[in-house]
């Protein structure tokens, strides 16, 4: 798509594509920004906070992308936002689909989960930060695996006849290259308005929860740092952090 050739690695079976790239980071094996790993099946696909990502063998995409940031953990905060937009870009370009984004990084179509993003980090407050960006996209979900999913879900096959996984990988990789380069040059400046236009919960009453604490309010969108903004009793407050979950009331 960019006119550049890029190598990618495909494995038939792996525990988790994110775990594999993170092992390479931790074992200091060669890895470079923009490197992609795809698996045909994951035996231990993960969501956030120990949840399972159903990853049966077949058409679905299990994809991880490595990116190195040199400005420490602080700079990693907005990455989920850039990644959500990259997934939007790819699905729009390839299938003409208009997905909605749920903070921090889930992808919904008609209120059903189509794709999930799991950004994992290895780094210090300052210095280099290694990011492994995992993306699972349901292309065609087998019946048996679908029965294990405990929330409304959907797949590309329910909306499009185009099910070529290679083309999806090419579009997704191109979109990530573009969005992460944009993020590195200008941060979230231009992305905040774009993300807010796609916010699945815009203007809705939502509940934010960390497991221990909960906050209720009207979802206003994201702020300049990528935090989620809630209006509560007339006051507007931002919340940050990878361990927070957002639910519609």
Given the complex with ligand ATP, which of 61 and 169 has the nearer CB atom? Answer: 61
Using CA atoms, how far apart are residues 248 and 216, in angstroms rounded to an integer?
Answer: 10
Task: Assess whether 113 carries a catalytic annotation.
Answer: yes
**Which residue of the set 102, 113, 165, 179 is catalytic?**
113
SS3 string, 203-232, reads: CCEEEEECCCCEEEEEEEEECCCCCEEEEE
Least distance in angstroms from the C-beta of 213 to ligand ATP: 14
- Cβ neighbours, 10 Å, residue 128: 12
Residue 161: exposure state from Cβ atoms within 10 A (0-12, 13-18, ≥19): exposed
Interaction between residue 51 and ligand ATP (CB under 6 A): yes
Rule CB under 6 A: choose which of 16, 138, 173, 199 binds ligand ATP. Answer: 138
Task: Assess whether 6 carries a catalytic annotation.
Answer: no
The binding site for biotin comprises 16-18, 42, 46-48, 113
**Which residue of the set 48, 102, 165, 179 is catalytic?**
48
Task: Assess whether 28 carries a catalytic annotation.
Answer: no
Question: Taking a C-beta distance cutoff of 8 angstroms, is the pair 91, 196 a contact?
Answer: no
DSSP character at residue 198: T
Interaction between residue 242 and ligand ATP (CB under 6 A): no
Binding residues vs ligand ATP (CB under 6 A):
47-48, 51-54, 106, 113, 116, 136, 138, 149-151, 153, 245-246
Annotated catalytic residues are 48, 113, 247
């Amino acid at each position: 798509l960019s006119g550049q050739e890029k190598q990618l690695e495909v494995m038939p079976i792996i525990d988790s594509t994110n775990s594999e790239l993170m092992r390479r980071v931790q074992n200091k094996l060669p890895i470079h920004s923009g490197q992609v790993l795809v698996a045909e099946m994951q035996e231990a696909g993960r969501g956030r906070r120990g949840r399972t990502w159903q990853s049966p063998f077949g058409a679905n995409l299990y994809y991880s992308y490595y990116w190195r940031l040199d400005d420490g953990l602080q700079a990693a905060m907005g990455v989920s936002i850039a990644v959500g937009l990259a997934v939007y870009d790819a699905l729009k370009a390839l299938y003409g689909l208009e997905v909605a984004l749920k903070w921090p990084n889930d992808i919904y179509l008609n209120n059903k989960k189509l794709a999930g993003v799991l950004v994992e980090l290895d780094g210090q407050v300052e210095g280099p930060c290694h990011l492994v960006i995992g993306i699972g996209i349901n292309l065609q979900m087998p019946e048996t695996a679908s029965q294990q999913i405990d929330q409304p879900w959907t797949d590309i096959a329910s909306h499009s006849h185009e099910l070529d996984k290679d083309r999806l990988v090419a579009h997704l990789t191109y979109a990530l290259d573009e969005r992460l380069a944009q993020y590195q040059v200008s941060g979230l400046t231009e992305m905040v308005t774009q993300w807010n236009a796609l916010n699945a919960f815009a203007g809705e009453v939502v509940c934010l929860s960390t497991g221990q604490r909960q906050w209720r309010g009207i979802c206003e969108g994201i702020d300049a740092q990528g935090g989620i903004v809630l209006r509560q009793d007339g006051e507007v407050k931002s919340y940050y952090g990878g361990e927070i979950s957002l639910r519609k009331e």
